[in-house]
Amino acid sequence: MDVLDIARWQFGITTVYHFLMVPLTIGLGLLVAVMHTMWVRTDKPEWLRMTRFWGRIYLINFVLGVATGLVQEFQFGLAWSEYSRFVGDVFGSLLALEALLAFFLESTFLGLWIFGWGRIPKKLHLAALWAAVVGSIVSAYFIIAANSWMQHPVGVEVDDATGRPVQVDFLAVLSNNTALAAFTHAIVAALMVAGALLVGIGLWHLRRRKLAEQPETDVDHRVWRRSVRLGGWVSLAAFVLVALTGDWQGKLMYAQQPLKMSSAEALCETEAPAPFSVFAWGKLGSNECDDVHSITVPGLVSFLAHGDFSSAVPGVNELQEEYAAVYGETYPDDPSRFGALAGEEIDYTPLLAVSYWSFRLMIGMGAVSAGIAAYALWATRKGRVPTSRIGVYGALLAVAAPFVANATGWIFTEMGRQPFVVYPNPDVPVGEQTWFFTAQAVSPGVTAAEVWTSLSLLTLVYGALAVVELWLITRFVRRGVFTGDGAPTPGTPTEGAPESREDTDDDVLSFAY
């Protein structure tokens, strides 16, 4: 593999891994802030215990998100320096604003929340958590605005001397319709992740307590019951919003990146009405669209693209020719800029198998998650506790489903825009468009050995971290809300102190660190 392929693998691995933490941070942060608010308002002990239990998982996860997020900011420069030079006038400022306006808020106030139990006034302490959560959401907006600018570059003109985009309208970059759709989609998808976690773990504890014949009247019972109910309703509501925002995003993408969407359907020829493919077989992997056959729902893709059941949707083969005519049949024959791909033919069709299956996994896993949420709500109706082994362990296993949906959604978005790293904006006349091929984005002076080294090192470290992290979270979850002798009386300062011996052996402040 040459530098380009290794660097792409590195970006893919580190970013997908980082994005396992991100939706949980956003979604669970919001829900913990709600729990904490409910405790401050009602003074009911179950809300406090929920805040402490879920808050701890939120923090364990947050730290890994911060740690792996560091890599993101550096790797644009490390492995993708030509990309960084090209997009510098727009992209860097969004990252800097994210750090200035969001990361400081997030980390400073989270530190205050963690160490502030019993030290600062109750409402101020709650406000600190909300500030941190707002920080996470603001951060999501900036980074998605940066990504959406690559998907749909707006607010720029091309500089004649350098050929690079120059920012002329910052507000246009911030209000990019691609960013608005992707941001709302990502936020509600993050809530699905948090909802599934509450449902899966809550059901498991409820069932365990019932089998152990523990009382259904105590606070801990209410903790798990409320967690399941809250998580279930959040998941269902979020699923509806995910579908609506996804539809919005899909319609934008049919206009902005038609090849991404037609690849997602393996729609080879232009069709009117265009069908939705439920299942495809044949040689998706060959990237030869005509080798693919599928079971279809007539007219559905016309609806997804245009809102009616009859419009034409362009096929992959036609689009490939259109793009080749405008953006070139082959890469310029310049190995110093295009590496091994210099002079090669350009394939404007993203990998069909990846686009097709990641799109279906995203939707399918989202639906699984919503189904489990509905089951959990039904099974716990009117104070019931499910004891079905399949149902409860199914829900526990299905905690993974929205994570997979989030990851495949981004894999679809990012791999679906290949071969471009900055996609040409079709709303702009061709002569004024800006675009950049992934092949020309890598750092020219960096050797394959260096990128191999960092790829191996980061993958090994990430793998090891995942093992320890999962082990710690599993242990913590199994332990439940309180395991120490004598649960603290709610509302007193000791309630702010840690719950188990393992926390107290350090110091009172070690709620998280």
Partner 1 sequence: MDLQTLWFAAVALLWTGFLLLEGFDFGVAALLPVLGRRPADRHLMLRTIGPLWDGNEVWLITAVGAVFAAFPGWYATWLPALYLPFVLVLFGLIVRAVAFEWRHSHSTDAWDTTWTRVITGGSLVAAAGIGAALGATTLGLPLGEGGTRVGGAFSGLGWPALLGAVAVLAFSVVHGAVFLSLKTDGPVRVAARRFALRWAPGAALPLLAWAGLVHLRYGTPVTGALWLAAALAVLVAWARLRVGREGQAFAAWGAMLAAAATTIFGAAYPVVAPSTIDSAFDVTVADASVSDYTLTVMTWAAAVGLPVVLGYQAWTYWVFRTRLTAEPQHGEPAGTHA
For partner 1, the binding residues in 443-502 under the rule CB under 8 A are 443-447, 449-451, 453-454, 457-458, 461, 465, 468-469, 472, 475-476, 493-494, 497, 501-502
- 335 lies in the site for partner 1, by CB under 8 A: no
Question: Which of 4, 32, 110, 179 touches partner 1 (CB under 8 A)?
Answer: 110
* Dihedral sign computed on CA atoms, order 260, 266, 269, 274: negative
- How do 276-282 and 165-167 pair as beta strands? unpaired
Piece of 181-189, 200-208, 317-325, 440-448 that binds partner 1 (CB under 8 A): 440-448
Question: Which of 82, 247, 318, 322 touches partner 1 (CB under 8 A)?
Answer: 82
- 264 lies in the site for partner 1, by CB under 8 A: no
Whether the CB-CB separation of 151 and 256 falls below 8 Å is answered with yes
Q: Which residue has the tokens 């096929």?
A: 315
- 337 lies in the site for partner 1, by CB under 8 A: no
Q: CB of residue 115 vs partner 1: minimum separation in angstroms?
A: 4
- 74 lies in the site for partner 1, by CB under 8 A: yes
Give the integer Cα–Cα distance in Å for 312 and 309: 9
Identify which of residues 430 and 472 has a Cβ nearer to partner 1 in the complex.
472
What backbone torsions phi and psi does residue 311 show, to the nearest 5 degrees?
Answer: -60, 155
Three-class DSSP category at 308: coil
Question: Which of 30, 33, 97, 346 touches partner 1 (CB under 8 A)?
Answer: 97
Whether the CB-CB separation of 359 and 264 falls below 8 Å is answered with yes
Question: Which of 13, 40, 95, 367 touches partner 1 (CB under 8 A)?
Answer: 95
Identify which of residues 248 and 482 has a Cβ nearer to partner 1 in the complex.
482
Three-class DSSP category at 214: coil
Q: CB of residue 25 vs partner 1: minimum separation in angstroms?
A: 13
What backbone torsions phi and psi does residue 437 show, to the nearest 5 degrees?
Answer: -80, 145
User: Tokens representing 358?
Assistant: 């990641």
Identify which of residues 157 and 216 has a Cβ nearer to partner 1 in the complex.
157
Piece of 80-88, 270-278, 342-350, 424-432 that binds partner 1 (CB under 8 A): 80-88
Identify which of residues 130 and 476 has a Cβ nearer to partner 1 in the complex.
476
Q: CB of residue 462 vs partner 1: minimum separation in angstroms?
A: 9
If binding means CB under 8 A, how many residues of this protein chain bind partner 1?
86
Sequence-ordered list of residues with C-beta below 8 angstroms from that of 67, at least 6 positions apart, any chain: 465
What backbone torsions phi and psi does residue 282 show, to the nearest 5 degrees?
Answer: 100, -165
Segment holding 118, helix H or strand E: none
- 101 lies in the site for partner 1, by CB under 8 A: yes
- 107 lies in the site for partner 1, by CB under 8 A: yes
Q: CB of residue 243 vs partner 1: minimum separation in angstroms?
A: 35
Q: Which of 120, 110, 114, 66 is nearest to 511 (CA)?
A: 114
What single string gives the DSSP state of each residue in 266-284?
Answer: T--S-BSSPPEEEEEEE-G
Piece of 57-65, 244-252, 301-309, 371-379 that binds partner 1 (CB under 8 A): 57-65
Whether the CB-CB separation of 495 and 482 falls below 8 Å is answered with no
